[in-house]
Amino acid sequence: MSKGLGDLATLPVSRLKVTPKKLEGLTELGISSVLDLLLHYPRRHLDRTNQAAIGAAAVNEEVTVLARVRRVNSRRSRAGKFFLEADLFDGSGYLKLVFFNAVHYYRSLLAEGTEVAVFGRIEMSGGRRTMKHPVVDPVGDRTARIVPIYPQSEKQHLTTWDFGRWIDEALRRIDHLDDPVPGWVLDRFALVDRDTAMRSFHLPETMQEVNAARKRLVFDELLRIQLVLVRRKKELERTSKGIAHVLDGDLVGRFHRRLPFPLTRAQRDAIREIGDDMAKPVPMHRLLQGDVGSGKTLVAVSALLLAVQGGHQGALMAPTEVLAEQHYLGVRALLEGLTLADDNNLFGDRPVGVELLTNRTTAAERTRLMQSLADGDVDILIGTHALIQEKVAFRSLGVAVIDEQHRFGVEQRAALRGKGEGETVPDVLVMTATPIPRTAAMTVYGDLDVSVLDELPPGRTPVTTIWARGPLEEVEAWSRVRAEVEAGHQAYVVAPLIDESEKLEVRSAQETYDSLREGELAGLRLGLLHGRVPAKEKEVVMEAFRNGDIDVLVATTVIEVGVDVPNASVMVILDADRFGIAQLHQLRGRVGRGAAVSWCYLVGAGATPESEERLGALERSTDGFELAEVDLDLRGEGTIMGVHQKGRNDLRLASLRRDREWVARAREIAFELYDAGIPEHLVDELDLLLPEGDEEADAGAEFLFKS
Ligand code: ADP
Ligand code: MG
């Protein structure tokens, strides 16, 4: 009889030939049903006919060798520690394996007379080919040409050989697996059916079969995620009532005409897309992506004013107090002198009311603010999470802009949506501070529409980035700072990143400041900024830097976002290898804001191959989207989909890097399936593998800012 995944989920693994001890191990791994077992995919497939021969393998190279275990010995070193030695033979030569740790475990993998695949570097030791601590995959007595290698568990003593046996048994005892995906979908992308895919991935005869199977299983994973996201998006649109904003006011137009520069084409497009959304009676749910300096703030303010001109209010939420304050100052400056028609006012108009609400707002001020908010005297409220506290009541919230979504949870988004007037739901615009690769955006923010600012305002000269690998280049960095200051420009120095504590970070900034003032930058006017500088003093320092009374600002990453001093033309980032790509790119965005040629020095030898890649990428490219792709390549999608994936994570095979094009295809199909009605069995699968309320599908993009 044909079966679906749901049926497999009801079959306990104990139906298979599993010993009680192994069953315990499986339970600990979270594998309790036959479905769990079948979704425990091989991590690679070994082609028996295509392995290195021991006798021919080059010394000092990493190879996979398939050989039979001849002899295994536990031995004791002179220091009295046990270690394990094994001799393998593959017909072409002998290989010695040595293990100093987990001796017991390796002994159990290396049963004499059985076949094993080992992966590692071959060295010559005592005149013999040797591998120390290779990866060992027991192949057992499987004779197939292609051997699937399963992730094994050292702790639970479960080997790839165990998994292979159980899965083989399970598939033999299942007649046929149903396919819930309609035939026309499979036809469009030439995908094999599910039964074929499962069988050929676990028990393949050729590598072509493996590849075809993988394609199908990857598609299934991505399709399920997209279906959940698309369904959520569509249901939200269907069930909630939004505000149909009127676009015919002139406030936004007047705002744009007062700017000292024309909008970029990308800004105009994004504002039009947002306007179209806001005019609809369905709540907007849009993501605004753009590189550092692409002018997202202007777009956000345009959205806020669009609501304001129709008599509604706007909210702008930032993830931190500092950012909220910076937004507040920035938005006020942008709106300076902009007026709004007001019949109650004798002059017939009044300034656009912008206010700030954070945890620092005093109780008295807060009370006053709440009153004006309820009266509608406040047009735009800027703040942190404090904005969505229960007690904050708007007269009519028309649009909420959320800056840097990654630090806001889904619930907070929901709470904000609950702030509309009566039944209506405010429009929501989410801004990310740094670009996210397209496939990641589709996966993490798949329930949003996306606008992209893919163009920088004209007149910017790209920042020249120099990775200062050694002392000579560091000397060059400081002399560049001096030369730029002499030419009337200004500079930033970013102090080493200290994760352990704010206290240490403050100390590192202070030490950097002291030593530069005495040494490399003696004679220049230096300022210091870090997390413990009191707000008042911070403002004084920033003001002095803005006015050009300070030449060099030494700071921690508090300058990461929002600081805008076009006269600054050089930045030196110390210990740059400790920062992540996104953060370095964001920091670098503080220079190159004017027309002057600008420099960014990344000081620090690459501590790891990965940090070398990071610094190299920054040196090569100033394109945030390109850097985001590199970041994804380096760090993998595991980090995107969230680390806290309990139980069934549905992204087992698919890779947002390798399978880029499949993400887009799955999304396309998800929309078509939703419109045609998602087949019932597929809905069951979504409930089974990606239950709603389980935050897996929208686990935050926090990874972008973790270094
Ligand atoms: P983002 O938030 O995307 O990093 P901002 O909104 O802070 O970028 O804008 C960066 C800088 O570019 C600001 O100084 C802003 O005034 C300026 N800017 C924005 N749009 C334009 C434009 N169309 N032409 C020239 N300068 C612009
Ligand atoms: Mg900004």
Question: For position 702, what pLDDT does the model report?
Answer: 32
* Ligand number, closest to the Cα atom of 318: 2
- What is the distance in A from the centroid of ligand 1 to the CA of 295? 4
> Which residue's structure tokens are 């102090």?
495
**What pLDDT does residue 650 have?**
61
Identity at 651, one-letter amino acid code: L
pLDDT value at residue 705: 27
339-341 vs 349-351, strand pairing mode: antiparallel
Secondary structure (DSSP) of 405-429: GGGS-HHHHHHHHTTSSTT---EEE
pLDDT at 273 over 70: yes
The helix (H) or strand (E) run that includes residue 401 is strand 397-403
Per-position DSSP letters for 367-390, written without gaps between them:
HHHHHHHHHT--SEEEESGGGGST
Return the CATH number of 464-621, one of 3.40.50.150, 1.10.3720.10, 1.10.10.10, 3.40.50.300: 3.40.50.300
Question: What does the alpha-carbon distance between residue 533 and residue 471 come to, in Å, rounded to a whole number?
Answer: 31
pLDDT, tens only, 123-175:
998 889 999 999 888 887 777 788 899 998 888 888 888 999 999 999 999 99
Cβ pair 484, 491 in contact under 8 A? yes
Q: What is the pLDDT of residues 66-121, one digit of tens each?
A: 999 999 998 888 888 889 999 999 989 999 999 998 888 888 889 898 889 898 89
First to last CA, the chain: 51
Confidence of residue 47 (pLDDT cuts 50, 70, 90): confident
Task: Report the topology of domain 49-143.
Answer: OB fold (Dihydrolipoamide Acetyltransferase, E2P) (2.40.50)
Torsion angle defined by CA atoms of residues 393, 396, 399 and 404, in that order, rounded to the nearest 10 degrees? -10
- Rounded to 5 degrees, what angle do the CA atoms 679, 199, 115 make? 155
d(CA 293, CA 588) in angstroms, rounded, equals 10
pLDDT at 642: 46
Atom of ligand 1 nearest to the CA of 562: 7
Residue 45 near residue 146 (C-beta atoms within 8 A): yes
Angle in degrees, 0-180, between the axes of helices 265-279 and 296-308, rounded to the nearest 10: 30
* Those residues with Cβ within 8 angstroms of residue 2's Cβ, 6 or more apart along the chain or in another chain: 175, 176, 177, 178
CB 441 within 8 A of CB 287: yes
Closest residue by CA, ligand 1 atom 20: 295
3-state secondary structure of 677: coil
The reply to whether ligand 1 has any atom less than 6 angstroms from the CB of 296 is yes
Q: Kindly indicate whether the domain formed by 251-280+294-432 is annotated with CATH number 3.40.50.300.
A: yes
Expressed in angstroms and rounded, the spacing between residue 297 Cα and the centre of ligand 1 is 7
DSSP 466: E
CA distance linking residue 42 with residue 150, whole number of Å: 4
* Residue with CA closest to ligand 1 atom 23: 263
- Domain layout of the chain by residue ranges: 1-46+161-178, 49-143, 180-241+631-707, 251-280+294-432, 464-621
- CA nearest ligand 1 atom 5, residue: 295
Does residue 313 contact residue 393 with C-beta atoms inside 8 Å?
no
Given pLDDT bands bounded at 50, 70 and 90, which one contains residue 413?
low
Roughly what angle, to the nearest 10 degrees, separates helices 160-172 and 194-202?
A: 150
Q: Any residues with CB less than 8 A from the CB of 338 and at least 6 apart, and which?
A: 251, 254, 255, 258, 351, 352
CB 397 within 8 A of CB 315: yes
Which has more confidence, 443 or 501? 443
The rounded distance, in Å, linking the Cα atoms of 51 and 53 is 6
pLDDT of residue 543: 87
Written as six digits, the tokens of 471 are: 């002392």
Query: What average pLDDT does the chain have?
Result: 87
How do residues 19-30 score in pLDDT, each as one tens digit? 999 999 999 999
Rounded Cα gap, residues 188 and 647, in angstroms: 32
Strands 82-89 and 62-76: antiparallel
pLDDT digits (tens, 9 = 90+) for 300-311: 999 999 999 999
Residue type, 545: F
- Contact (Cβ atoms closer than 8 angstroms) between residue 384 and residue 404: no
Task: Supply the pLDDT for residue 542.
Answer: 86
Name the residue at shortest CA distance from atom 19 of ligand 1.
295
Q: What pLDDT sits at residue 388? A: 75
User: Ligand 1 centre from 376 Cα, in Å?
Assistant: 29
Contact 237, 280 (CB under 8 A): no
Pairing verdict, β 94-99 and 568-573: unpaired
What spacing in Å lies between the alpha carbon of 560 and ligand 1's midpoint?
15
Whether 509 contacts 530, CB under 8 Å: yes
Q: Is 330 in the pocket of ligand 1 (CB under 6 A)?
A: no
**Which residue has the least CA distance to atom 9 on ligand 1?**
295
Indicate the length of the chain as a whole number.
707
pLDDT score recorded for residue 58: 86
**Predicted pLDDT at 258:** 94
Estimate to the nearest angstrom the gap between the alpha carbon of 576 and the chain centroid.
Answer: 20
What pLDDT is stored for residue 421 in this prediction?
A: 65
Q: Where are the alpha helices (DSSP H) in 178-264?
A: 183-188, 194-202, 207-239, 251-258
Atom 17, ligand 1: residue with shortest CA distance: 295
User: How many helical (H) and strand (E) elements, i.e. helices and strands, does the chain have?
Assistant: 23, 26
> Considering only CA atoms, which of 683, 685, 654 is closest in space to residue 439?
654
Judge whether residue 587 has pLDDT over 80: yes
8 Å CB contact between 524 and 552 = yes
Report CA(562)–ligand 2 centroid distance (Å).
6
3-state secondary structure of 97: strand
Sorting pLDDT into bands at 50, 70 and 90, what band is 345?
confident
Task: Identify the pLDDT of residue 163.
Answer: 94
Ligand 2 centroid, distance to 415 Cα (angstroms):
24
Q: Which ligand is nearest to the CA of 624?
A: 1
Q: Burial, 3: exposed, middle or buried (Cβ in 10 Å; 0-12, 13-18, 19+)?
A: middle
* Cβ of residue 264 lying under 6 Å from some atom of ligand 1: yes
Ligand 1 mutation pick, 297, 402, 561, max ligand atoms within 8 A of CB: 297
* pLDDT score of 664 more than 80: yes
Q: Which atom of ligand 1 is nearest to the CA of 564?
A: 14
Mean pLDDT of the region 485-504: 85
How far apart are the C-alpha atoms of 346 and 308, rounded to whole Å?
20
Binding site membership of 261 for ligand 1 (Cβ less than 6 Å): yes
pLDDT at 264: 96
Q: How many CA atoms lie within 13 A of 236 on its CB side?
A: 21
Q: Is 677 left (phi over 0), alpha (psi -120 to 50) or beta?
A: left
pLDDT grade, residue 519 (50/70/90)? very high
Predicted confidence band of residue 299 (pLDDT cuts 50, 70, 90): very high
pLDDT of 698 strictly over 70: no
Q: What would the mean pLDDT of 283-302 be, rounded to a whole number?
A: 92
Same topology, domains 251-280+294-432 and 464-621? Answer is: yes
Is pTM beyond 0.85? Reply is no
What DSSP string runs through 121-138?
E-EEETTEEEEES-EEEE
Q: Ligand 1: which residue has its CA nearest to atom 26?
A: 457
Tens-digit pLDDT profile for residues 361-394: 899 999 999 999 998 899 999 998 778 777 788 9
pLDDT tier at 408, thresholds 50, 70, 90: low
Q: Is the pLDDT of residue 414 over 70?
A: no
The pLDDT-based confidence of 1 (bands split at 50, 70, 90) is low
For ligand 1, whether the C-beta of 351 sits within 6 Å is no
Phi and psi at 485, nearest 5°, equal -65, -40
The predicted-structure confidence for 592-647, as pLDDT tens digits, reads as follows: 887 789 999 999 877 788 889 999 999 999 999 899 888 888 876 655 554 333 33
Of the bound ligands, which one is closest to the alpha carbon of residue 323?
A: 2
Would you state the pLDDT for residue 647? 30
Quote the CA–CA distance of 581 and 616 in Å, as a whole number. Answer: 10
pLDDT tens digits, 219-247: 999 999 899 989 988 888 888 888 999 88
Query: Is 267 close to ligand 1, i.e. is its CB under 6 Å away?
Result: yes
Q: How far is the CA of 265 from the centre of ligand 1 (A)?
A: 13
CA distance 27 to 263: 59
CA-closest residue to ligand 1 atom 2 = 296
- Pick from 413, 188, 190: which is nearest to 286 by CA? 413
**8 Å CB contact between 129 and 59:** yes
Cβ–ligand 1 distance for 292 under 6 Å, the answer yes
The number of the ligand nearest the C-alpha atom of 592 reads 1
Q: List the residue whose alpha carbon is closest to atom 16 of ligand 1.
A: 295
Please give the single-letter amino acid code of residue 497: L
User: 576: which 2 tokens?
Assistant: 């740059």
